[in-house]
Amino acid sequence: MIITGASSGIGLACAREFARRGASVSLGARSADKLEEIKNEFTAKGYQVSITPTDVSNENDCRQLIEDTVQAFGKIDILINNAGISMRALFKDVELEVMHRLMNVNFWGAVYCTKYALPYLLEQKGSVVGISSVAGFIGLPGRVGYSASKFAMHGFLETLRTENLKTGLHVLIAAPGFTASNVRKSALTATGSLQGETPRSEDKMMSAEEVAVHLIKAIHRRKRTLVLTFLEGKFSVFLRKWWPSLVDRLTYKVMAKEPDSPFK
């Protein structure tokens, strides 16, 4: 199996949980140093692991990740498109290059990896997973590039699922909700600089390790969609179908309460 964005957060938690359960894991991330540390950790525990430094916005890197995985393990049965970046700025303020970066990583990264892994996944009747967010169901103010990229991922994966109704390919869209994860600290500002510390308290957020367990269960059950947390996740997505104008107002109110919110 392959996990992108595997050097921290949900990606690393998934890698550890899958490996602990006996899976052979192929890990892609930008940081070669962190990948080496993880490889040493896994090897010491007797886990089967392959690593490939990967910037998912680079098509050739994605192709290499797939080739390395097949060379190491001979097959691919699960691909978890987890690599992603976030942002925090209003559209009127954001530089368009920031929008491009969000789309290149969050959308095109999933497209590239899925494209090259697909022949092997079809052989195994395997699973393609996109790690999304409630931002892929509801447009979040101040997260315009993030929501746009996740909506695009949803459209891509839903179409892929329909195209493969008769092939046995499983496609899962997973929306963890607000999770204590490094992706929040590496969010981009309007100019593309790093946000730094997250504006939200992470004390009551779901941990990356909890997300990994839920994700494994959803893959095993071959679910179509996994939405975690109740109020900010399942209930919001449900309410959006029946009372979208109310969800717009509630979303605006909630996001405006963030410290240093770009709008009030």
Q: Catalytic amino acids?
A: 146
> In whole angstroms, how far apart are CA 165 and each of 122, 134, 185?
12, 25, 38
CA–CA dist 82, 35 (Å, integer): 15
Closest CA to 226 of 216, 168, 18, 121: 216
CA–CA dist 33, 20 (Å, integer): 22
| Coil vs helix vs strand at 185 | helix
Instruction: Report which DSSP code applies to 212.
Output: H
CA–CA dist 220, 37 (Å, integer): 29
60, with CB counted inside 10 A (0-12, 13-18, 19+), is: exposed
